[in-house]
Amino acid sequence: MTTITLTKLQVRRFLLSYHGLYGDFNFTGKNGIMSYIRRVGCIQFDPLNVVGMNPELVLQSRIKDFDRSMLWELLYKERELIDYWDKNMSIFPKED
């Protein structure tokens, strides 16, 4: 087995990029929402709205041109996403 050595900076950039927080937006529109949630597995669904609901805050920082109606359509009209308990209230793809 080959060992890969990474610097802390390389690891930081990888993690930020993987989670869609480094550089330009990697995800756009409803397809971007689906791609991002498939990539990370699920996002926490906290329905409290202090400055915005958690899933909306997570997605607006990662999805270009995000609109909260996109998430609700994917959840409750198109049924591509599901809100359910997975250790905490979560949103994940229906195929999971």
Q: Reply yes or no on whether the pLDDT at 81 is more than 90.
A: yes
pLDDT of 12 > 90? The answer is: yes
Within a domain: 70: yes
- Is the separation of the CB atoms in 81 and 91 below 8 Å? yes
Does residue 72 lie within any of the structural domains?
yes
Whether 3 maps to a domain, the answer reads no
pLDDT (average), residues 14-18: 91
Residue 33 maps to a domain: yes
Q: Which is more confidently placed, 10 or 26?
A: 10
Q: Is the pLDDT of residue 86 over 80?
A: no
Contact 62, 53 (CB under 8 A): no
Full domain range(s) for residue 31: 27-93
Domain count, the chain: 1
Residue 19 within any structural domain of the chain: no
Q: Is residue 36 part of a domain?
A: yes
Q: Measuring CA to CA, which residue among 53, 18, 45, 34 is closest to residue 96?
A: 34
For residue 31, being part of any structural domain is answered with: yes
Name the pTM for this structure.
Answer: 0.75
